Amino acid sequence: MQLRKEIEPQLDIAEKFYSEILKSITDYTNFCDKNGDEENIEYQKLEDKLHKLTGKDITQFNLWEWWEDEGVEVLSFRIALPAPPKVENITKAELSEIVCNRLECFDNWPTNRDQNDRSFEAQFFPYLDTYYHDFLRINFKRTYNYQKIFCTQKDKDKNSFELSDETKVDKLWNDGKF
C-alpha cells in the first residue's frame, strides 16, 4: 500500500544531506584521531553544523562512538532523515501498513524492490524503523507504548509471546484497550 506523501519518510531530503553529514562526521573522527578534542571544541562545532543543516537536536545522537552502534553510514542517514510529522486523520489501513509492512516485514517494502538495487532508498530502508516508531509515538500519543506493544511479553505462566500484527494495530487504534 502506498502511504500518503506526508506520512512517507522524506528520503529525498535525507539523500540531499547524507554525503555532507557523513563527511563531517568522518572528518571529525579523523581530526580527533590526530589531534584529540579534550575540550570538545570541534565536537561542538560539528554539533552546531549538523543542527544548522538539519534543524535537529544533535545531542540525541552519538557522534563520538558511532562505531559501537550501527556505523557512521547509518548514523549519517538517521541524522539526515527529517523527523516524522504530526498527521491528521490517519486511517486504520495506513496504521496497519506501517505496523505490518513497514516495521515488521521489511522484505515486503517496497514490494517492487529489485534485489540488486543499490539506490539510496534500498540501502537505508531497513533503518527506517526509528522513523516509523517516532511517527507512531507522535501520532498515537495516548496508545503508543514500545514495551507493551512491540516487545516480547510474558503470559501469567511466564511463557514468552509476541503480539500479532493485528493486535498491535488494534492496541494503537483502540486506545490500547480491549
Q: What is the pLDDT, as a whole number, of residue 92?
A: 96
Domain boundary among 60, 80, 100: 80
pLDDT in tens, 100-121: 999 865 555 555 556 778 899 9
**Mean pLDDT of the chain, nearest integer:** 91
Look at residue 67 and tell me if it is in a domain. yes
Structure confidence by residue, pLDDT tens digits, 41-78: 999 999 999 999 999 999 999 888 777 778 999 999 99
Domain encompassing residue 115: 92-173
33 with 99, same domain: the answer is no
Residue 151 in domain: yes
Exposed e or buried b per residue across 42-64, where buried means at least 16 C-beta atoms within 10 angstroms of its C-beta: ebeebbeebeebbebebeebebe
Which three cell numbers, joined as nine digits, stand for 49? 553544523
Same domain for 97 and 62, yes or no, is no
Q: What is the pLDDT of residue 140?
A: 97
Rg (CA), the chain: 19
Domain membership flag for residue 6: no
Domain assignment present for residue 2? The answer is no
Give the Å distances, CA to CA, from 122 to 6, 24, 72, 91, 113: 20, 23, 17, 26, 8
Count CA atoms within 13 Å of residue 108 on its CB side: 11
Note whether 67 and 112 are same-domain residues. Answer: no
Domain boundary among 80, 100, 119: 80
Confidence band of 178 (pLDDT split at 50, 70, 90)? very low
pTM of the predicted structure, to 2 decimals:
0.87
The answer on 96 and 169 residing in a single domain is yes
Residues 63 and 103 in one domain: no
Determine the Cα–Cα distance for residues 125 and 19; give it in Å rounded to an integer.
Answer: 17
Question: What total number of domains does the chain contain?
Answer: 2
What pLDDT score does 62 carry?
86
Residue 150 in this model has a pLDDT that exceeds 90: yes
In terms of domains, do 99 and 162 share one? Answer: yes
Residue 118 and residue 169 in one domain: yes
Of the residues 20, 47, 80, the one at which a domain ends: 80
Same-domain pairing of 138 and 104 = yes
Residues 121 and 161 in one domain: yes
